[in-house]
Each structure stands twice: as structure tokens, then as C-alpha cells.
């Protein structure tokens, strides 16, 4: 009897077997489940992509009705590809459980479509999933779950550009291998209380390609809102409040390329990040995640042909595109209103500190219009060069470029090339460590046309390719998530040679004696700048910077722009 019972339950997941629906799968159960579910099937396959930071392989489950698992052939047949990522934050496990049931239901009910291939990452942050406990104090179940940080304590949802973790580099490989048309990355929120179980972040309309954004809104986003409402899970944009509570207004989330959907936008992929409300029962959160997954899948199947054709067209447009925004800021002059179902909030005395504290009253739901700030405008727009030239010394960057399908060639011989170079004229740096870095921001550059030696083996990246957005947004130092901002070029920011004043005093005096123009400029500069006039050291420095000894590579961004 025992074995019959087990067979009956073989396809059920721990979540379904728990009467309270408050259990999420463990890593071992997850791996075993897919292995058993897919065993002997011709239309589904588990692909091991490589070792993650904890040694266990990152897996992708691929469901392909005709049994074709070669992404190039699948693309050639004109099929769409949808990618689901789960457990980037394993403490937010709804998607892990929902995907198990969704994959099972598609397979056992024979519902695989002809025109779409589904790829599912069962869990992305495996180390985090293994690190089980109750690390989310504001979360209502499940009874035990994984941890947000990776093996090295990275937040993998900030690692899509810098690629510090093995996991991120593997993910980028998956993304570029399958080039998904639609991408879903499942999460649980933090923050305010309100009535919704499901909230949604999508690739920001002002960051997605201008021809893809309206299509995404009308054919996908609007449709998802309708379908979710119909099945009892009305949605609202991710609740990012302008003030203390949502009534102050919502600000749409700007997902720069460090985030999964921001990374997807660089590849002209439609991306969604559902965020279920952490204080709703686990069952509602899993059910709404399943419903959203299914809605997005169904819409993608319906749109497959148009979506594939449109993305093909857009990739060609990006090849020819000349100007690229690389940084955006909120346009506060543009405000919409949005219908919001919240709970009344108020202040009462804290029993801990005696100070005023915020509370939400769940017995007092409301529905009202609140301001919605949903527009971002570009604040830096770059005219692309004909090509970038990258010194081969920057190995890590070159690897990331290759992973991201960037077409590159190497110089065949040493040569001096006429290029435009940037000097980093100012920048700010975060004062505390963030995700393994001290990132820069607010970068200003000045450009200068120069003859620069490059060497055999240095890399030329032409900007006539579908990956132009990735190229420009990462290589331009002013890009929000540029490699410069992520500290790939920090060595150029410190001077390597200095002078000893006691020797340079005589040299400087000699220079002023022999160069009347320099002497006049020096006197003018002192008149204009009392600080200079008052400091002997500063005066030596001023002269030093005007000699041929001064290192002209200081602050020189080493990537050349071929015009
Ligand atoms: Zn999350």
C-alpha cells in the first residue's frame, strides 16, 4: 500500500501536501522532483549550465513540444522563448513552488504550445536556498525558507552587470543562449500594507525600446492586469511610496541594468518582476504567482508570432540607432493618478520606545485615487562612436562582453589610432560598501581627440550590432550601471608618479625663466586663485601639471571612441 500511496503523491509538491499550505520545497526535494517529473520525456529536458558558487549546478528546465532543445533551431522555426527565473531571493519562494506545479500541469495535461518554448530556472541562488531559516521577520510564512544572500553574501538581483558571482555569469550565459522574448523573475515585497496580494514591476516603459514599450503595455501589461483581476488577484504597480504611506503617491520603480528586468531591457526583452505582498498568507501568494505565470505564458503564446517579428525588427533598429540614453531621472512634472486599494493608516504611541509609530488598520480598507509618478526622462544621452577600442588588459570586462553576445575583433598589429578619449573630470563615490563595491555615480567627463597607441590583441567593438544598448550603457562612464561606476577602472583614478619638491623647485624656477607665456599664465592664475597664491606646494603642482613629465593617463578613461 505504501508504494501505491507514494506513487499517487509523486507528482505533488510539499506545498500541496501540507494541509496548511505553508511549506516550501527544500533544495534536494526540488532537484529530485524535476528529475522524476521529467524522466523519460521527449518534450522536456534538464540542462546543467555550470557550477554555482556553492558547487551545485545551475539548472534550466526546458519545455519544447517537438523535442527540439537547440536554441538556434528553435529561433529559426520562429518560436518565441519565455524564461522564468526563481529564487534569486530564496526567502521569497512562491515562484519556486508555483513553477513546479506549472511545469507539471503543462506536461501532464499535454498543454505545451507549438509556438513557444518555456525555460524555467528552478532556483537561481542555490546557496541561499540551502541556507534555510526564518530570516524575513516581516513575512507571513512559509514555515521555513531560504536566505536572500548568495554564498558570498551578494544580492544577486544587483549583480547583472558587474557579474561578481558565478551565478550571475551563468545566468548571463543562459539569457544570451536563449535570448528570451519574455522574462519573468519572481519575488516577494517588503514595505507598506495594502489590500493587494500581487504587485508588479515591469521593464520601465521609458527604458524599453520606444517601439516595444507601447506594444508591451497594450498587449501584455494591460492584459495581465485584466486576467489577474478576473481570477481574483487584482494587481497594482509595485508599491514604492513617495512619502511614508502609499496614499502620498506611488513612484514607478526604475530598474537600472543591475536588476533582472533592467538587464533584460538591454537585450530588448519584455521583463516582469512580480512582488507578492509579504504579509498575505503563503497560499494566496503562491496562487497569485501561479496565476500570473500562467497569464503571462498564455499571453505570450497568443502573441508569439507578433512578438518574435517585432523583436526582430527592433534589433535591426538598434543596430542603426545613433543616440542612446544611459541615465534617467524621475520626471516629477508629470503625474498620473491610479486607483489604489489600501488600508487606513495612523499614528499611535510605541509600546517599545514611547515615540509615535505608524500602523495600518486592516479593518478599514479604502479605495481611492492616489498620485502616480510613472515617467522618467533621460538625463545623459550619448551619441555612439563608430567603435570602441578596449585594451586587452581588462579581461573580466571582455569576458562579460563576450557572454553578452557582443561581436568583437582583435587588432592584428600595434598601431597609433586617432580616437576620442574621456578624462573623468568629476565623480562621487558611495561612502560605504555596497554589493562588494564602492560604486561611483554623478560622473562628469571631458573629451579630447588624441592619437593613442593600441596593441595587437586589443579589442574593437563596432556599434553596428543588436547588442548596442549593452555596449553603450556599460562602456560609457556616465551610464547608471556602467563598468566605470562598478569600479572596473578605479586604477586610473590615482596618480602614479609625483615630484619631490626639493628637486622640482629648481626645475620649476628654470621653466618660468625660460617660458614667458608660462610665466604670464602662472601670474594670472595666482591673481585669480587666492588659494594658489597662498600655497607654495600648490604653485609647484600647477607648474608640474604643465610639464611633459606630468602623467597624461591620470584620470584618462582607457576605452577609446573611434569616430
Ligand atoms: Zn526579491
Which residues lie closer than 8 Å to 358 by C-beta, 6 or more apart?
244, 245, 345, 346, 347
Percent of the chain with pLDDT over 70: 98
| The pLDDT of residue 9 | 47
Note whether 69 and 62 are within 8 A (CB). Answer: yes
CA of 88 to the centre of ligand 1 (A): 7
Q: How far is Cα 435 from Cα 168, in angstroms, rounded to an integer?
A: 13
| The pLDDT of residue 79 | 98
pLDDT digits (tens, 9 = 90+) for 181-229: 999 999 999 889 999 999 999 999 999 999 999 999 999 999 999 999 9
Categorize the per-residue pLDDT at 10 as very low, low, confident or very high, splitting at 50, 70 and 90. Answer: low
CA of 563 to the centre of ligand 1 (A): 42
Q: How far is Cα 197 from Cα 234, in angstroms, rounded to an integer?
A: 8
The domain locations on the chain are 2-318, 384-563
| The pLDDT of residue 270 | 97
CA of 236 to the centre of ligand 1 (A): 17
pLDDT digits (tens, 9 = 90+) for 283-309: 999 999 999 999 999 999 999 999 999
CA of 418 to the centre of ligand 1 (A): 46
Note whether 259 and 160 are within 8 A (CB). Answer: yes
Which residues lie closer than 8 Å to 522 by C-beta, 6 or more apart?
512, 539, 542, 543
pLDDT digits (tens, 9 = 90+) for 491-518: 999 988 889 999 999 999 999 999 999 9
| The pLDDT of residue 495 | 86
Sign of the dihedral defined by the CA atoms of residues 454, 460, 461, 464, in that order? positive
pLDDT digits (tens, 9 = 90+) for 156-177: 999 999 999 999 999 999 999 9
pLDDT digits (tens, 9 = 90+) for 546-560: 998 888 888 999 999
Mean pLDDT value across residues 144-167: 97
Determine the CATH number of domain 2-318.
3.40.630.10
Distances in Å between the Cα of 424 and the Cα atoms of 363, 446, 553 are 56, 7, 11
Task: Decide if pLDDT at 7 tops 70.
Answer: no
- Higher-confidence position of 545 and 382: 382
Distances in Å between the Cα of 115 and the Cα atoms of 67, 177, 193, 303, 382 are 13, 18, 40, 10, 38
Task: Decide if pLDDT at 538 tops 70.
Answer: yes
Categorize the per-residue pLDDT at 4 as very low, low, confident or very high, splitting at 50, 70 and 90. Answer: very low
Task: Decide if pLDDT at 92 tops 70.
Answer: yes
Neighbours of 107 (CB within 10 A): 17
Continuous segment of H or E residues that includes residue 387: strand 387-390
CA of 97 to the centre of ligand 1 (A): 15
CA of 290 to the centre of ligand 1 (A): 17
| The pLDDT of residue 94 | 98
CA of 261 to the centre of ligand 1 (A): 12
Distances in Å between the Cα of 491 and the Cα atoms of 145, 320, 488, 558 are 41, 34, 8, 11
CA of 412 to the centre of ligand 1 (A): 46
Task: Decide if pLDDT at 426 tops 90.
Answer: yes
Question: pTM for the whole thing?
Answer: 0.94
Note whether 186 and 265 are within 8 A (CB). Answer: no
CA of 76 to the centre of ligand 1 (A): 34
CA of 422 to the centre of ligand 1 (A): 37
| The pLDDT of residue 288 | 98
Note whether 431 and 443 are within 8 A (CB). Answer: no
Q: What are phi and psi of 314, to 5 degrees?
A: -65, -35
CA of 89 to the centre of ligand 1 (A): 5
CA of 130 to the centre of ligand 1 (A): 17
pLDDT digits (tens, 9 = 90+) for 453-493: 999 999 999 999 999 999 999 999 999 999 999 999 999 99
Considering the chain, what is the average pLDDT of its residues?
95
Percent of the chain with pLDDT over 90: 94
| The pLDDT of residue 331 | 95
CA of 185 to the centre of ligand 1 (A): 9
CA of 93 to the centre of ligand 1 (A): 9
CA of 449 to the centre of ligand 1 (A): 45
Amino acid at each position: 500500500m505504501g508504494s501505491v500511496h507514494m506513487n499517487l503523491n509523486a507528482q505533488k509538491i510539499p506545498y500541496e501536501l501540507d494541509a496548511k499550505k505553508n511549506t516550501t520545497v527544500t533544495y534536494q526535494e526540488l532537484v529530485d522532483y524535476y528529475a522524476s517529473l521529467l524522466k523519460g520525456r521527449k518534450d522536456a529536458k534538464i540542462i546543467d549550465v555550470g557550477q554555482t558558487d556553492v558547487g551545485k549546478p545551475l539548472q534550466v528546465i526546458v519545455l519544447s513540444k517537438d523535442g527540439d532543445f537547440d536554441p538556434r533551431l528553435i529561433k529559426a522555426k520562429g518560436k518565441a522563448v519565455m524564461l522564468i527565473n526563481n529564487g534569486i531571493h530564496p526567502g521569497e519562494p512562491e515562484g519556486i513552488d508555483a513553477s513546479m506545479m506549472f511545469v507539471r500541469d503543462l506536461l501532464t495535461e499535454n498543454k505545451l504550445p507549438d509556438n513557444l518554448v518555456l525555460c524555467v530556472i528552478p532556483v537561481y541562488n542555490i546557496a541561499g536556498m540551502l541556507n534555510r531559516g526564518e530570516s524575513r521577520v516581516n513575512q507571513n510564512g512559509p514555515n521555513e525558507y531560504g536566505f536572500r544572500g548568495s554564498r558570498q553574501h551578494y544580492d544577486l538581483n544587483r549583480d547583472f552587470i558587474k557579474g561578481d558571482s558565478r551565478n550571475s555569469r551563468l545566468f548571463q550565459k543562459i539569457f544570451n543562449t536563449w535570448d528570451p522574448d519574455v522574462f519573468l523573475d519572481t519575488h516577494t515585497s517588503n514595505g507598506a500594507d495594502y489590500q493587494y496580494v500581487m504587485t508588479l514591476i515591469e521593464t520601465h516603459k521609458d527604458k524599453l525600446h520606444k517601439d516595444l514599450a507601447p506594444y508591451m503595455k497594450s498587449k501584455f501589461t494591460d492584459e495581465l492586469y485584466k486576467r489577474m483581476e478576473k481570477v481574483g488577484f487584482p494587481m497594482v504597480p509595485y508599491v514604492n511610496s513617495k512619502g511614508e504611506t502609499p496614499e502620498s503617491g506611488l513612484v514607478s520603480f526604475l530598474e537600472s541594468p543591475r536588476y533582472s528586468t533592467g538587464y533584460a531591457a538591454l537585450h530588448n526583452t519584455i521583463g516582469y518582476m512580480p512582488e507578492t505582498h509579504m504579509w498575505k498568507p503563503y497560499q494566496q501568494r503562491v496562487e497569485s504567482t501561479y496565476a500570473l505565470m500562467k497569464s503571462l505564458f498564455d499571453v505570450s503564446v497568443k502573441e508569439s508570432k507578433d512578438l518574435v517579428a517585432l523583436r526582430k525588427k527592433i534589433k535591426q533598429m538598434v543596430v542603426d540607432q545613433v543616440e542612446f540614453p544611459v541615465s534617467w531621472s524621475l520626471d516629477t512634472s508629470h503625474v498620473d493618478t491610479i486607483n489604489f486599494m489600501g488600508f487606513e493608516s495612523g499614528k499611535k504611541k510605541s509600546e517599545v520606545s514611547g515615540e509615535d509609530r505608524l500602523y495600518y488598520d486592516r479593518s478599514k480598507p479604502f479605495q481611492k485615487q492616489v498620485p502616480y509618478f510613472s515617467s522618467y526622462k533621460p538625463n545623459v544621452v550619448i551619441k555612439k562612436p563608430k567603435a570602441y577600442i578596449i585594451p586587452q588588459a581588462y579581461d573580466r570586462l571582455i569576458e562579460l562582453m563576450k557572454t553578452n553576445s557582443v561581436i568583437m575583433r582583435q587588432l592584428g598589429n600595434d598601431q597609433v589610432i586617432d580616437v576620442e578619449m574621456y578624462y573623468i573630470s568629476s565623480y562621487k563615490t558611495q561612502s560605504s560598501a555596497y554589493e562588494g563595491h564602492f560604486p561611483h555615480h554623478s560622473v562628469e567627463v571631458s573629451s579630447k581627440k588624441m592619437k593613442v597607441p593600441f596593441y595587437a590583441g586589443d579589442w574593437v567593438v563596432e556599434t553596428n550590432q543588436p547588442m548596442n544598448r549593452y555596449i553603450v550603457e556599460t562602456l560609457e562612464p556616465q551610464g547608471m550601471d556602467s563598468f566605470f561606476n562598478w569600479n572596473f577602472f578605479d586604477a586610473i583614478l590615482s596618480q602614479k608618479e609625483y615630484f619631490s619638491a626639493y628637486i622640482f623647485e629648481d626645475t620649476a624656477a628654470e621653466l618660468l625663466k625660460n617660458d614667458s607665456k608660462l610665466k604670464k599664465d602662472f601670474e594670472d592664475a595666482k591673481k585669480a586663485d587666492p588659494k594658489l597664491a597662498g600655497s607654495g606646494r600648490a604653485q609647484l603642482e600647477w607648474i608640474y601639471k604643465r610639464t611633459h613629465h606630468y602623467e597624461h593617463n591620470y584620470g584618462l578613461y582607457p576605452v577609446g571612441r573611434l569616430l
